[in-house]
Amino acid sequence: MGRAFVYVILGGGVAAGYAALEFRKRGVSHGELCIISEEPVPPYERPALSKGYLLPEDPARLPSFHTCVGAHEERLTPKWYKEHGIELVLGTQVKSADIRRKTLLTAAGETISYKILIIATGARALKLEEFGVKGSDAENVCYLRDLSDANTLVDLMKSCSGGNAVVIGGGYIGMECAASLVINKISVAMVFPEAHCMARLFTPKIANYYEDYYKSKGVKFIKGTVLSSFEIDPSGKVTAVILRDGSRLPADMVVVGIGIRPNTSLFEGQLTLEKGGIKVNGKLQSSNSSVYAVGDVAAFPVKLFGEIRRLEHVDSARKSARHAVAAIMEPDKTGEFDYLPFFYSRVFTLSWQFYGDSAGEVIHFGDFSGSTFGAYWVNKGHLVGSFLEGGTKDEYDAVAKATRLKPAIEDVAALERQGLGFALAI
Ligand code: FDA
Ligand code: NAD
């Protein structure tokens, strides 16, 4: 039993939604395109899950955040896919892929064949068990990657109002969930191994600002350590988190955000991998010319820095997906993907954006005791990265533009004095 399509998108997350919109804009015909997703709903804006979805009042719920509302584009509801003849194969896991035969085998035993495949399988949350800690399958421990995780988290927060939560991990999930827990009137202790939060991006000075802000909201930070085990009661619920030094943090619930692994396993041994992802060229095409990869799972050349990178952010998922479809549908008119990395987060009333690369010397600017401040990264004599908290739209646009231009910086002290003014003057 099987079906055949010209184009198949494997995965139904952010990248899949933006790829579908681009296919439609470029005139895909009815019946040519299919999306296969393990999730039971069409593509949605995943970032909502750690923000609006967790609000105690008037939370975001589907269908309001289906792609592509995050980029102020059309909202692709089930009706939209139907009207445009795009087949949604939902709630369906692909178990194996045969790149040579151009077929995918689903868990239900169906073979789906393609002429062109776009891999948009994203990533999975790393489990504590992978670091030797047992018990993260307890009912009051949750991860956050998809809608079903978010529903578990919402239910847990409702049952723990006024109680204690331990957040494991000081990255994006840890920081955004800690803020949501506080907003839901739950006391938070955050545990992570690094010396400060968001260690992959923030400088100690930037991290200090956010940690102080979180502390003012009652969040406790336990840094430079990891948990060693859970204390679990006879009903199977975690009651406390035990740290490496033996100390005990009482817990009514636990949220874990300790990083991700790209979903590449179906293609290992069939496609070239790099940096943990599927290696693609500037057209997002893998080592097999009929197969493209986009979003979190793709390792693509970032022209600006002359390097292959794998990014785990929504803007890159949206834009790489659109570029791949352009390259597939109009190969002669589509050049190399020329992407400026862009990350952002919003917590409480704070909001920051980052553009470029966090490499080289850091120059902080602005008022770290106020609400607008930032940093530039200067590498090999050029501005390569910019961070800004509390900026206006024009200010964010200016730092993005300045970073893309990679201007030569001869006088670092002058850059520090000019601060945001440097970007605004470009
Ligand atoms: P994504 O994970 O969105 O989709 C992958 C899809 O593939 C899923 O539908 C999955 O079920 C499916 N799949 C995988 N294997 C399959 C198989 N074998 N068979 C069938 N289907 C399969 N970024 C940012 O820049 N700003 C932000 O604020 C946030 N916030 C945020 C919050 C939360 C809670 C998360 C988890 C992530 C973010 N991100 C973010 C990151 C951002 O959401 C992420 O980079 C994109 O979702 C990546 O899009 P993809 O389409 O690549 O993967
Ligand atoms: P992350 O990589 O941002 O952070 C992982 C954190 O886990 C590290 O900072 C570290 O503190 C901690 N850690 C690692 N090993 C540990 C261990 N053994 N014990 C305890 N802590 C440990 O990953 P994440 O926060 O899990 O986020 C998952 C994904 O979701 C990422 O791809 C991220 O980019 C994405 N995301 C992005 C945003 C955003 O861009 N605003 C928001 C939410 C999620």
Contact criterion met (CB below 8 Å) for 120 and 295: yes
Task: Pick the atom of ligand 2 nearest to 126's CA.
Answer: 26
> 308 C-alpha vs ligand 1 centroid, how far in Å?
20
> 324 C-alpha vs ligand 2 centroid, how far in Å?
27
> 275 C-alpha vs ligand 2 centroid, how far in Å?
17
Which one-letter DSSP state was computed for residue 66? B
Neighbours of 100 (CB within 10 A): 7
Q: Return the amino acid letter for 264.
A: T
Pocket of ligand 2 (CB under 6 A): 50, 131, 168-174, 176, 192-194, 199-200, 226, 257-260, 312-313, 343, 345
Is the CB–ligand 1 distance for residue 344 below 6 Å? yes
363-367 long-range contacts (CB < 8 A, ≥24 apart) are 363/412, 363/415, 363/416, 364/203, 364/205, 364/206, 364/416, 365/416, 365/418, 365/419, 365/420, 366/419, 366/420
As for the ipTM of the complex, it is: 0.99
| For residue 341, cis peptide bond before it (omega within 30 degrees of 0) | no
Is the CB–ligand 1 distance for residue 343 below 6 Å? yes
Task: Pick the atom of ligand 1 nearest to 345's CA.
Answer: 28
CA distance 127 to 129: 5
DSSP 324-381: HHHHHH-TTT--------EEEEEETTEEEEEEE---SEEEEEE-TTSS-EEEEEEETT
Is the CB–ligand 1 distance for residue 317 below 6 Å? yes
Is the CB–ligand 1 distance for residue 35 below 6 Å? no
Task: Pick the atom of ligand 2 nearest to 131's CA.
Answer: 18
Residue whose CB lies within 8 A of the most ligand 1 atoms, among 314, 323, 342, 353, for a mutation test: 314
CA distance 181 to 157: 7
Residue by residue, pLDDT tens for the chain (426 residues) are 699 999 999 999 999 999 999 999 999 999 999 999 999 999 999 999 999 999 999 999 999 999 999 999 999 999 999 999 999 999 999 999 999 999 999 999 999 999 999 999 999 999 999 999 999 999 999 999 999 999 999 999 999 999 999 999 999 999 999 999 999 999 999 999 999 999 999 999 999 999 999 999 999 999 999 999 999 999 999 999 999 989 999 999 999 999 999 999 999 999 999 999 999 999 999 999 999 999 999 999 999 999 999 999 999 999 999 999 999 999 999 999 999 999 999 999 999 999 999 999 999 999 999 999 999 999 999 999 999 999 999 999 999 999 999 999 999 999 999 999 999 999
* Order of all β-strands in the sheet with 307-310: 273-274, 277-279, 298-302, 307-310
**How many Å is the maximal CA-CA distance in the chain?**
68
Which residue's CA lies nearest to atom 37 of ligand 2?
Answer: 172
Which one-letter DSSP state was computed for residue 29? P
CA distance 77 to 364: 44
Closest ligand to residue 295's CA: 1
Is the CB–ligand 1 distance for residue 263 below 6 Å? yes
Which residue's CA lies nearest to atom 32 of ligand 2?
Answer: 312
> 254 C-alpha vs ligand 2 centroid, how far in Å?
15
Q: Name the pTM for this structure.
A: 0.98
> 331 C-alpha vs ligand 2 centroid, how far in Å?
36
Q: Return the amino acid letter for 161.
A: S
Contact criterion met (CB below 8 Å) for 88 and 12: yes
